[in-house]
Amino acid sequence: MKLAIASDHAGVELKRLILTELDGEGHRWQDLGTWDSTPVDYPDLALAVAEKVISGECDLGVLICGTGAGMAIAANKVPGVRAAVCHDTFTARAAREHNAVNVLALGARVVGPGLAMEVLRAWLAAAPAEGRHRRRVDKITAIERRYGGER
């Protein structure tokens, strides 16, 4: 399992802390930026992570901005990406199991590092469910195709 991870300037500190924790837990990751507090545009970072995930180079993606919202909106424009903002462990687990969320968006101005890590762990520990949940995710993909998505 390899993660693609990126933040904008608002999320750079949280990203740093998360990467340290991920190292300690033996996860593999690729950090796509940003690396300091110089303001950057979150859609650029969201696209970088989305492309790593849909290409298969990375299995899952993590995006961090001030709220998580901008990152999720931008990443969801890439066909095949299902990004969600999760700030509690219940949503994180359900988002992976029910919605096959493949990009987790976090808001560094919303949650502290402790909760952010718990949310990330809950999401990583879960897996997409089959049956009715798979059928519903397939319907999301069908909507995507209908409106021009290629995946």
12 binds ligand RB5 (CB under 6 A): no
Whether residue 86 lies in the annotated active site: no
User: Contact region for ligand RB5 (CB under 6 A) — 53-61, 64-72, 123-131, 143-151?
Assistant: 64-72
Residue number with CB closer to ligand RB5 (64 or 117): 64
Exposed e or buried b per residue across 15-49, where buried means at least 16 C-beta atoms within 10 angstroms of its C-beta = beebbeebeeeebebeebbbeeeeebebbebbbbb
34 binds ligand RB5 (CB under 6 A): no
Site string for ligand RB5, 71-110 (x = CB under 6 A): ----------------------------------------
Burial of 150 (0-12, 13-18, 19+ CB in 10 A): exposed
Contacts of 88 (CB under 8 A, 6+ apart): 115, 119
Residue number with CB closer to ligand RB5 (6 or 122): 6
Residue number with CB closer to ligand RB5 (70 or 93): 70
How far is Cα 88 from Cα 93, in angstroms, rounded to an integer?
Answer: 9
Q: Which one of the listed residues 27, 86, 87, 98 is annotated catalytic?
A: 98
* Helix (H) and strand (E) counts in the chain: 6, 5
* Residue ranges binding ligand RB5 (CB under 6 A): 8, 10, 42, 65-67, 69-70
